[in-house]
Amino acid sequence: MSTSPDISPFPQAGLESEEGIESVGECLFIERAVAFFLAGQRYALPIDRVHEIQQIVAFSDVPSGGSAVVGMINLRGNVIPAIDLRRLVRLEPRDYTLETPMIITWTRGQTVALIVDEVQDVLELPDGCLQGAPPMHALSSKMIGVCRMEDGLIYLLDVDLLLSAESIQAAW
């Protein structure tokens, strides 16, 4: 019997598990998030949607002609897509190195690896720091909101909206 961690798409109690997220009326409070960088801009995902972070591994190429889905990886016996977040949000692609991180997350029952520039840390989000996404931001329809932190803004992304079928298809 293997003792490797479970990488099921819903690691703990399932989709209904909303650890770290509390909804009060129309307000959404997220206690912790995993912050990362793309092209010098700081983004984050709610911690309950991040399964793990690891360095890039070899992936099999997918013929794509510029798609954000750059390949498939074998993660402890599970084949999952590797998605270059830079390509998905239409930033200039950059070469991968051995230090390039991947954020393992899931959307609609599918585990995926998101390739980012750098992972900062798990951040505690202060009460009241989250506000709605600015409608003029190119990714506003893919955001939960913007966190105002002492050291700058963090754009909190919604994995399901970010990795919608339409978003992936548009990146083809």
* 19 vs 28, more confident: 28
Gyration radius (Cα) of the chain, Å = 16
CATH number at residue 88: 2.40.50.180
pLDDT tens-digit series, residues 127-159 = 888 988 888 888 889 999 999 999 999 999 999
**Amino acid 124: pLDDT:** 92
Residue 15 lies in a domain: no
* Sequence-distant (≥ 6) Cβ neighbours of residue 51 within 8 angstroms: 7, 11, 104, 105, 106, 111
**3-class DSSP state for residue 171?**
coil
Residue 147 lies in a domain: yes
* 172 vs 74, more confident: 74
Residue 98 lies in a domain: yes
pTM: 0.80
Distance CA 6, CA 81 (A): 17
| Residue 168 host element (H or E) | helix 165-170
Q: DSSP letter string over 72-141?
A: EEEETTEEEEEEEHHHHTTPPP----TT-EEEEEEETTEEEEEE-SEEEEEEEPPTT-EEPPPTTSTTGG
Distances (CA, A) of 168 to 43, 83, 161: 19, 9, 10
Nearest to 147 by CA among 170, 117, 126, 118: 126
Residue 10 lies in a domain: no
Average pLDDT for residues 30-43, to the nearest whole number?
95
* CB neighbour class for 41 (10 Å; exposed up to 12, middle 13-18, buried from 19): middle
**Amino acid 21: pLDDT:** 43
Q: pLDDT grade, residue 1 (50/70/90)?
A: very low
The rounded mean pLDDT for the chain is 81
**Amino acid 155: pLDDT:** 95
**Amino acid 13: pLDDT:** 29
Residue 21 lies in a domain: no
* 163 vs 28, more confident: 163
For residue 15, pLDDT over 80 is answered with no
Give the count of domains, the chain.
1
Residue 6 lies in a domain: no
For residue 18, pLDDT over 80 is answered with no
* Sequence-distant (≥ 6) Cβ neighbours of residue 122 within 8 angstroms: 32, 33, 34, 35, 47
For residue 11, pLDDT over 50 is answered with no
**Amino acid 154: pLDDT:** 94
Tokens 């200039």 identify what position? 92
Structural domain harbouring 38? 30-170
